[in-house]
Amino acid sequence: MTADAHIPQEDLALFALQALSEEEAVVVRAHLKTCAVCRNEVAELSGDLALVALSAEPQPLPEGAKARLLEKIAAVAEEEGRTATKSVVSIADAKPMRKIYMSIPWAAVAAMIVFAFALILKIGDLNRELRQKTAQLAQQAEASLRARRVLDVLTAKSAQRVLLTAAKTKPAPSARAVYLASSGSLILQANNLDPLPAGKAYELWVIPANGKAPIPAGVFRPDATGSASVILPLLPAGVPAKAFGVTVERAEGANTPTAPILLVGAAGE
């Protein structure tokens, strides 16, 4: 390995797993002090391994496992002590041997890391979907509560019901007639009539159902409140009425109505 070369990712992964020998670890640590690229790679690998460790459920060691492990380590150390040489094996020289023995475990670790990332992404999607569903349910609950309150107000017996009209608007003129055709008897009550100039008066007309000319039924002028009445004018008996109307005429009245007809109403059957 040259001074400006990067350490292979496999060696960095083993360094993060603390699976290198002390001599190899010393070489890696010395390289990391001067290489930002390899430092970032080690940081990412350490984070991935931490996610894998958090996602794995801890299991208790089998009984006697620790003692057997210590015995195995002592036996391996004794065997290596008999065959070891004084030369230090570099990372580059040790790599082929390590690839043979570590490829399968590292592949498993890599698969676990990929699975952990996929699981984290899936959990994120599920959390977002859950938040959306929760927000929709909250909106539906609020709309349902509002609809219930509207229904309670509309159906409450103690609710006050008020008709609002335009402010300072004068009520429209109106009149109500009661007519008995058999005797020619007629009573009219009018309200909210506009005042008239001198020489003018309102005149009531009976419009016969047989299509003949309207019959004058009396003139009248409203008082200061706009009210007026016509009570039992002289009319022929036995004339069914189709409608009634009110026009503005001369003070003494007219024989035919002058347009426009201010008030009109059809006679009920």
Helix (H, G, I), strand (E, B) or coil at 175: strand
pTM for the structure as a whole: 0.41
**Domain CATH number, residue 249:** 2.60.40
Q: pLDDT value at position 122?
A: 79
What's the CATH number where 118 sits? Answer: 1.10.10
C-alpha dist (Å) from residue 97 to 2, 89, 91, 101, 204 = 20, 11, 10, 7, 123
Is the same domain home to 105 and 226?
no
Residue 166 lies in a domain: no
Element (H, E) at 150: helix 91-155
Say whether both 135 and 196 belong to one domain. no
Q: What tens digit of pLDDT does each residue of 85-139 get?
A: 444 444 444 444 444 444 445 556 666 776 776 777 778 788 888 999 999 999 9
pLDDT score recorded for residue 162: 81
Collect the ranges in the chain with pLDDT lower than 50: 1-3, 84-104
129 and 178, same domain (yes or no): no
Residue 84 corresponds to which amino acid? A
Q: Does one domain contain both 211 and 134? A: no
* Tokens 């094996």 -> residue: 89
Residue 204 lies in a domain: yes
Identify the domain containing residue 243 by its residue range: 174-266
Residues 9, 120, single domain; the answer is yes
Contacts of 247 (CB under 8 A, 6+ apart): 202, 203, 205, 257, 258, 259, 260, 261, 262
Let me know if residue 100 belongs to a domain: yes
Q: Identify the pLDDT of residue 1.
A: 44
Residue among 267, 263, 259 at smallest CA distance from 243:
267
Based on the fold, state whether residues 113 and 220 are members of the same structural domain: no
Position 66 scores a pLDDT of 58
Instruction: Give the max Cα distance, the chain.
Output: 148
**Number of domains present in the structure of the chain:** 2
Query: What pLDDT score was predicted for residue 139?
Result: 92
Q: Is residue 146 part of a domain?
A: no
